[in-house]
Amino acid sequence: MAEELKVIVFSLAHEQYGVEVDKVRTIERMQPLTRVPKTPAFVKGVINLRGVVVPVIDLRGRFNLEEAEYTDNSRIIIVAVGEMEVGMIVDSANDVVDVNSDEIEQPPEIVGGIRAKYLRGLAKLGEGKILVLLNLEEVLNKSEIVQLEQFGE
């Protein structure tokens, strides 16, 4: 039997992406970031979120997409990966949709320039729309998570 997944839909470079609601802690407006030296370029810094230091990455940078100015629509989606929370900067957070697990297909090797290892699958939403579901464990791979966890200490 197919299960329903609740997915937060966000946009990045005119594409629609999704991440499971149960992995999302909060969605925040853009706020000042404290830069951290000696981190990969896509790690934009850290924020203090209600007393917790949260590392923030720019998903455009992570996926080697063209950087863009942050706007009033830009959001930081705070997700939980393992024991830690990480913020992901996206162009906008749009919606919550239900995705039937039967409608999720394996991603091709490269989708919009993003390597398949970062993707969990592609979901068809109707009206010809396709939602790219992220594999958060790969988007924040283990060695990078270890680096990021050191900020929080």
Domains in the chain: ranges and CATH:
4-151 (2.40.50.180)
Mean pLDDT within 38-55: 89
- Look at 147 and 89; give whichever has higher pLDDT: 89
Q: What is the pLDDT of residue 1?
A: 58
Residue 145 pLDDT more than 70? no
Reading the block at residue 29, the tokens are 């407006």
Q: Count of residues for the chain?
A: 153
Q: What is the pLDDT of residue 103?
A: 84
Residue type for 135, please?
N
Tens digits of residue pLDDT in 86-113: 999 999 998 999 998 888 888 776 656 5
Residue type for 3, please?
E
Q: Using 50, 70 and 90 to split pLDDT, how confident is the model at 143?
A: low
Query: pTM here?
Result: 0.85
Strands (E) across 4-147 are located at 4-12, 15-20, 24-29, 43-49, 52-58, 75-81, 84-90, 92-100, 104-105, 110-111, 114-115, 119-126, 129-134
Residue 136 pLDDT more than 80? yes
Eight-class DSSP state of 66: P
Residue 56 pLDDT more than 80? yes
Tens digits of residue pLDDT in 2-33: 688 899 999 998 889 999 999 999 999 999 99
Q: What is the pLDDT of residue 81?
A: 81
- Look at 146 and 76; give whichever has higher pLDDT: 76
Q: Compute the distance between CA of residue 45 and CA of residue 93 in angstroms, rounded to an integer.
A: 20
